Amino acid sequence: MPTRSDTPSQDSNEKGFDSKAFLKRLTERPGVYRMYDDSGNMLYVGKARNLKKRVGSYFRKSGLAPKTAALVARIHHIEVTVTGSETEALLLEQNLIKSERPPYNILLRDDKSYPYIYLSGHSDYPSLTFRRGRTRKGEGTWFGPYPSSGAVKESLNILQKIFRIRDCSESYFKNRNRPCLQYQINRCTAPCVGHIIPEDYLADVRHATMFLEGKNPAIIRDLMDTMEQAAANLEFEKAATCRDQINHLRHVQEQQAIDSEGGDADVIAMAQDAGIVCVVVIIVRGGRVLGTKDYFPRFSLEQSDEELLSAFLGQFYFGSATRREIPRDVLVTAMPDEHELLAQALSEQAGRETRVRQNVRGERRKWLELAQTNARQTLLTHLASKETVYRRLLALRDLLDLPETPSRMECFDISHSHGENTVASCVVFDENGPLKSDYRLYNIEGITGGDDYAAMKQVLTRRYRRMVNGEGKRPDLVLIDGGKGQLRMAREVFEELHIRDIPLIGVAKGVTRRAGMEQLIDALTGRVFRVPPDSPALHLIQHIRDESHRFAITGHRARRDKKRRQSALEGIEGVGPKRRRDLIRYFGSVRTLRDAGVDEIAKVQGISKTLAESIYAALHDE
């Protein structure tokens, strides 16, 4: 337990928080620190093995990420609580995050407990039912946790089909005097009215328990023995029931995509893009994948994958309102910071060893790959979802003071290699997200290599001159990936074409050139928008800008590769396939041909002096 708590620091002066005075008397013991603004609101809570070193790292003169610097600038005072160990500090940190929800901490919005399957403690006729959250009441057995209620219902549905275990409440069971509908549709054996003896019912319960533990082969062997014994005793109806159960179980086994060496594990992967983080948790119990759960934690500080996973795992296992079941293995795609401390805390809470692992083989490696694939796909689906896009569009409309929500947005970017093979991209987004059928690539010609301003002017002129002439769709918003130079060219094009009713916004990377620190510049008014890094409007702009950048690079690489595959002799008037073959056969390579003079080239059969001069000029760009 915490041993003491510092009072708020009074070492604030007119310039802000006096960090030197505060750090001078700060202890080096483990504990938790809490940062507050001048209104007394908690900004951030963190844990530390050495409080003095950890808190001091926020006040170094250089090297802070911009978002961390923004946090430090708001600090009015800091409170610390010293603990007896790092594990206590971790648990206290998660309790404070859960109760205070500081804006600069990663926050998990989904705090519901996992669903379970509960086998009641009835001595003769126990039931299998759905339960949300595990409690210590009753004498039954718990199976799970499952990642969703749908996964529980699917398992219960299979169990009722195969083993016909009752799912009714105790009061309903005790007051029946005739079978219910479940018996009529062959989903229950009607133990409430004595249609099955306790011995046979408990045998079905035992098989259902084995099924939930992933022991399908053992159940099938047991049922085959029972079927053969029943057939020998001329109990053909019982033998037929066993046969049907075996067929159902084999069908379920075929549907199991993953049935492995066994073991319990939580498999956790993360993906992030456009200011959004998606964490996928796959629940594995008894070697069977029970399902997945997706999380989209909110975060405000610039953090690596390792830091994000560390913060997520702390809240996931220790910050929940209900205690989560801790498996023997926590498999992660990136090793979280302080993973040894996390493993120690998990082991103490579980009462046995729990490992946090990344480098695994066999089936566990497949689980990790499956989790990573799910994380990427879920994030892409989330970014493209209508609800997400619409919410971002509303935020963008409010941010830019647009009269209406934009339904068509176009973004332009330039890509080249040292000024060669310049390509411009135009990507289009509408209310459903990327509209890839309207994407366009433009090959830029006739400009000085590397002149991005001239390239931007050329592509915008080509695109919007057609629009003014009645060809092509009209956008509601145009975004330019670049700073004031590119935006100035865009403004000149719009003025030349007399386009005055389409908002024109430049997306500049800012001084630090970091994601989340972009500046938005209005071409017409020169207004610079300072957008919070967690703004949905900024996330939408980042998504559009990144897609424009990706599409431009893809187009540039395709053009560059095509040029590399194309012979330098192609495109020279009078030089067809036959003469190209003759030239290469005579000189051996284009490089040797380029070093040759006009007279030497004219020695090739079929090449006149005039044609040789044309070839020489083409190879030397004259």
Tell me what pLDDT residue 392 has: 85
Residue recorded with tokens 């590397």: 450
Q: Is the pLDDT of residue 260 over 50?
A: no
Distance CA 413, CA 460 (A): 10
pLDDT band at 427 (very low <50, low <70, confident <90, very high): very high
Q: Is the pLDDT of residue 514 over 70?
A: no
Tell me what pLDDT residue 606 has: 85
Q: Is the pLDDT of residue 553 over 80?
A: yes
Question: How many Cβ atoms from other residues are within 10 Å of residue 182's Cβ?
Answer: 17
Considering only CA atoms, which of 463, 423, 414 is closest in space to residue 441?
423
pLDDT tens-place string over residues 9-67:
434 334 568 888 788 878 888 888 989 888 888 899 988 888 889 999 998 888 787 77
pLDDT band at 462 (very low <50, low <70, confident <90, very high): very high
| Helix (H) / strand (E) containing 185 | none
Token pair in block for residue 361: 């083989």
Tell me what pLDDT residue 7 has: 42
Residue % of the chain over a pLDDT of 70: 84
Most confident of 131-145, 273-287, 297-311, 389-403: 389-403
Residue 489, φ and ψ in degrees, nearest 5: -65, -40
Check the CA dihedral 65-69-70-76 and report its sign: positive
* Of residues 243 and 560, more confidently modeled: 243
Question: How many Cβ atoms from other residues are within 10 Å of residue 570's Cβ?
Answer: 12
pLDDT band at 562 (very low <50, low <70, confident <90, very high): low
Q: What is the mean pLDDT of the chain?
A: 80
Tell me what pLDDT residue 486 has: 86
Q: Is the pLDDT of residue 460 over 80?
A: yes
Q: Is the pLDDT of residue 461 over 90?
A: yes
- Burial class for 142, CB neighbours closer than 10 Å (0-12, 13-18, 19+): middle
Rg (C-alpha) for the chain, rounded Å, is 34
Q: Is the pLDDT of residue 278 over 60?
A: yes
Stated pTM of the model: 0.46
pLDDT tens-place string over residues 145-179:
666 676 677 778 777 877 888 888 888 888 888 88
pLDDT band at 510 (very low <50, low <70, confident <90, very high): low
Q: Is the peptide bond before 217 cis (omega within 30 degrees of 0)?
A: no
pLDDT tens-place string over residues 306-352:
888 888 888 888 876 556 778 888 999 888 877 888 888 888 888 88
Residue % of the chain over a pLDDT of 90: 8
pLDDT tens-place string over residues 383-425:
766 667 778 888 888 888 888 888 899 999 988 877 677 889 9
Tell me what pLDDT residue 12 has: 39
Mean pLDDT lowest for which of 137-151, 181-195, 259-273? 137-151
For 312-379, give the secondary structure using H, E and C: HHHHHHHCCCCCCCCCCEEEECCCCCCHHHHHHHHHHHHCCCCEEECCCCCHHHHHHHHHHHHHHHHH
Check the CA dihedral 98-103-106-107 and report its sign: positive
Token pair in block for residue 301: 């500080």
pLDDT tens-place string over residues 223-245:
788 788 888 888 787 788 778 77
* Of residues 496 and 562, more confidently modeled: 496
Strands 433-434 and 420-430, bridge-based pairing: antiparallel
Give rounded-to-5 percent helix, strand, coil for the chain.
45, 20, 35
Q: Is the pLDDT of residue 357 over 70?
A: yes
| Helix (H) / strand (E) containing 417 | strand 408-417
pLDDT band at 214 (very low <50, low <70, confident <90, very high): low
